Amino acid sequence: MADNSFSDGVPSDALEAAKNASNTEKLTDQVMQNPQVLAALQERLDNVSHTPSSYIETLPKAVKRRINALKQLQVRCAHIEAKFYEEVHDLERKYAALYQPLFDKRREFITGDVEPTDAESEWHSDNEEEDKLAGDMKNKVVLAEKEAATGEEPNPRGIPEFWFTIFRNVDMLSELVQEYDEPILKHLQDIKVKFSDPGQPMSFVLEFHFEPNDYFTNSVLTKTYKMKSEPDKADPFSFEGPEIVDCDGCAIDWKKGKNVTVKTIKKKQKHKGRGTVRTITKQVPNDSFFNFFSPLKASGDGESLDEDSEFTLASDFEIGHFFRERIVPRAVLYFTGEAIEDDDNFEEGEEGEEEELEGDEEGEDEDDADINPKV
């Protein structure tokens, strides 16, 4: 029987390996001749070679040393920027004092304590001709109504439900309001923003002023937002200005049976030994806008919050900032809905701009896109 393990003195395993190697080379040649495969490989190589970190790693040590010096300068810039925002806060405090007499008069008009004069009530809109025609039509309707009925037009005190209407108009706030919150919010007469005193840690307080009501004895409910305007030691380059870091609410002195932040439930309990059943009542948390005054505390002991808690805290900070920056300064425009329309138009403009940018990116083949610096 012939021995087939050798052929012309060459082991059969070696022949098989040589054959496989030859087939692999042929397959590699075929793949490398495919233009789509080559393009994909080139794209991966380009991406790897053009990442900033990979480029920095290729630089000489002397250049890296100079880059580290630039980073030190950048940290110093961040600290100067923090001082800038502290002075901005001082300016906000100064101008808040100038705004306050106007806001006090706004409150008087809203509550009906003061009636505006004819000069104070005069307002010329951008569409005066349309308004004039509408006014003429309205006058005709009013005359017709007077002829049909002798009753006088109601003249309520001030502007009823002014702040409550703002809560209904603004989605961010209306989502927090439950049906049983509504009669309480109708007693809201004013919202004020108070800035921290000079020399004190940066913060602001939201004051919600209520008229006497059947729900709680407080005349003012407060929410304090604590802020920080300094670069993080661990990540100084992330500094982009003051940020809210924590908040405190206040105790609400609810009248008996009027606390809408809790609800009473009945629960049956069975005795393990005797088998008897008893019914107990228990108070549990209830969804309400007034939970806004019992906020979740930011973790100060180094422990991280869970994802839901972080989202809740971030939402709270956003609402506080919105009250301060938008609602309080421009209350009448949120009451009429004009500010909401402006916000919606601005958001639509941003979306359109994003779509346009995406279209531009599709057309970029040879020329690099312009990069606009962040303002």
Tell me whether residue 136 is in a domain.
no
Q: What's the domain range around 34? A: 21-58
From CA 281, how far away is CA 283, in angstroms rounded?
7
348 vs 87 pLDDT, higher one: 87
Tell me whether residue 6 is in a domain.
no
What local confidence, expressed as pLDDT, does residue 352 receive?
53
Q: Which of 74-88, 146-160, 342-356 has the highest mean pLDDT?
A: 74-88
Tokens (6 digits) for 43:
């794209």
Tell me whether residue 272 is in a domain.
yes
Residues 41, 175, single domain; the answer is no
What local confidence, expressed as pLDDT, does residue 244 receive?
87
H/E run at residue 222: strand 220-228
Tell me whether residue 170 is in a domain.
yes
Residues 269, 332, single domain; the answer is yes
Domains in the chain, number: 2
Residues 322, 177, single domain; the answer is yes
Give the amino acid at 214: D
Q: Contact at 8 Å (CB) between 295 and 318?
A: no
- In tens, the pLDDT along 357-367 reads 444 444 444 44
Give the amino acid at 254: W
CATH of the domain at 258: 3.30.1120.90
Q: Contact at 8 Å (CB) between 260 and 288?
A: yes
Q: Residue 246: beta bridge partners?
A: 226
Residues 41, 166, single domain; the answer is no
Using CA atoms, how far residue 291 sits from 103, 191, 244, 287, in Å, is: 26, 17, 19, 7
Tell me whether residue 273 is in a domain.
yes
Exposed/middle/buried for residue 190 (C-beta within 10 Å: 0-12, 13-18, 19+): buried
What local confidence, expressed as pLDDT, does residue 149 receive?
57
337 vs 309 pLDDT, higher one: 337
Residues 25, 109, single domain; the answer is no
Tell me whether residue 216 is in a domain.
yes
From CA 255, how far away is CA 215, in angstroms rounded?
5
> Residue holding tokens 């805290």?
313
Residues 178, 237, single domain; the answer is yes
From CA 239, how far away is CA 7, in angstroms rounded?
75
From CA 91, how far away is CA 64, in angstroms rounded?
41
Residues 52, 85, single domain; the answer is no
> Residue holding tokens 């190589």?
45
Q: Kindly report the pTM of this predicted structure.
A: 0.70
Tell me whether residue 328 is in a domain.
yes
Residues 38, 91, single domain; the answer is no
Q: What is the mean pLDDT of residues 191-211?
A: 94
Residues 314, 248, single domain; the answer is yes
- In tens, the pLDDT along 223-271 reads 999 988 888 888 888 888 888 889 999 999 999 999 999 998 888 777 7
- In tens, the pLDDT along 60-86 reads 899 889 999 999 999 999 999 998 988
Q: What is the mean pLDDT of residues 98-106?
A: 96
300: which residues sit within 8 A by CB, 6+ positions away?
A: 246
Residues 267, 338, single domain; the answer is yes
Q: Contact at 8 Å (CB) between 323 and 192?
A: no
What local confidence, expressed as pLDDT, does residue 307 receive?
83
Tokens (6 digits) for 68:
């580290």
Tokens (6 digits) for 210:
């209520």
From CA 13, how far away is CA 131, in angstroms rounded?
98
Q: What is the mean pLDDT of residues 127-145?
A: 61
Q: What is the mean pLDDT of residues 329-352?
A: 76
Q: Contact at 8 Å (CB) between 193 and 205?
A: yes
What local confidence, expressed as pLDDT, does residue 241 receive?
80
List the Cα angle 190/311/286 in 5-degree steps. 60
What local confidence, expressed as pLDDT, does residue 42 receive?
66
Rounded to 5 degrees, φ, ψ at 284 are: -130, 155
Residues 54, 165, single domain; the answer is no
pLDDT at residue 189 greater than cutoff 80: yes
Tell me whether residue 167 is in a domain.
yes
DSSP for 96-147? HHHHHHHHHHHHHHHHTSSPPPHHHH----TTHHHHHHHHHHHHHHHHHHHH
In degrees to the nearest 10, what's the CA dihedral of 274, 275, 279, 283?
90
What local confidence, expressed as pLDDT, does residue 370 receive?
38
Residues 164, 275, single domain; the answer is yes
